[in-house]
Amino acid sequence: MKGDVSQIVLAILTRETGEPLERWTFDIHVTEAAPGVLEGTAPSKPDSEIQSEIRAILKQISSAITFLPDHYDPTTFKLLAYTRDNGEVPVSEWVGSDAHLLPAAEAQQVKLRSFSTDLHRIEAMVAYRYTGDGA
């Protein structure tokens, strides 16, 4: 499945009803590498810069506690992997799933930082249930 995954989603759900509370989305864009990058002959983005970008997004994710609503009832999660239309997916190893989308009228969305390597660009976003009543 090399390069076939286009999106990873972490869905936080109520354990009792399976209702989505949060949906963390990580879009994976495969970029065309500059000639020589794969062979190691062209200058690539420094590892230190990539690591700095990853640290920044991890810091933003961990600080999301400041705006995300508290969940008092037991929760569970599902990890979803979306593949490209032309991707080769070993059907025997994967199962279909509900997208666990939040109702638009009750959802807030926050775009998170992105980061890139020579081969990928990752864009992140969190959607969470917000009804305005403190729940």
SS3 per residue for 52-121: HHHHHHHHHHHHHHHCCCCCCCCEEEEEEEEECCCCCCCHHHCCCCCCCCCCHHHEEEEEEEEEECCCEE
What rounded mean pLDDT belongs to the chain? 86
DSSP code at position 85: T
Q: Which CATH number fits domain 5-129: 3.20.20.60, 3.40.50.670, 3.90.1150.10, 3.30.900.10?
A: 3.30.900.10
Q: Give the range among 2-6, 13-17, 36-40 with minimum mean pLDDT.
A: 36-40
Whether 87 has a pLDDT exceeding 60, the answer reads yes
Q: What is the pTM of this model?
A: 0.81
The amino acid sitting at 71 is H
Q: Which of 20-29, 41-50, 70-79, 103-112 comes out lowest in average pLDDT?
A: 41-50
